Amino acid sequence: MAKNRARATNKGGVTTVKAIISHPMETGLRKDKKSGKKIPAHFIEELTVAAEGKTVLTANWGPAVSKNPLLHFTYKGGKKGDKILISWNDNKGVKDSIETAVK
């Protein structure tokens, strides 16, 4: 499985955030090739990004998002050194997060 990674940069007052999130993102529709049984759904439902404690992005995801998703977005503001916290929870109640600083 991929490892969670995040990076944030600021140029000209615009902050760019990129992250790879390690998650299986199973739809619940695929079958196990050996057993023939459906693989249970397991996907991220909500993802939130906060910069210095202020929410800058909230995303509601579902089973159509690919395995180990890449998140890439920009927002106005932010400055070098600001802490960016990316957190998510999935349909099985599992929560995780990753933190980075703007460079």
SS3 1: coil
The CATH number assigned to the domain holding 67 equals 2.60.40.10
Query: What's residue 53's pLDDT?
Result: 96
Is 10 domain-assigned? yes
How high is the pLDDT of residue 22? 96
- Tell me the pTM: 0.92
Find the domain containing 44 and state its range: 5-26+40-101
The answer to the question of residue 17 being in a domain is: yes
Q: Does 70 reside within a domain?
A: yes
Residue 2 C-beta-side C-alpha neighbours within 13 Å: 15
In a domain, 34, yes or no: no
Instruction: Tell me if 60 is assigned to some domain.
Output: yes
Please provide the size of the chain in residues.
Answer: 103
Adjacency order of strands within the sheet including 83-90 = 54-60, 44-51, 83-90, 95-101
Per the domain annotation, does 9 fall within a domain?
A: yes
- Mean pLDDT score across all residues of the chain: 96
Q: How many structural domains is the chain composed of?
A: 1
Distances (CA, A) of 25 to 15, 18, 49, 83: 27, 19, 19, 27
Residue 42 DSSP class: B
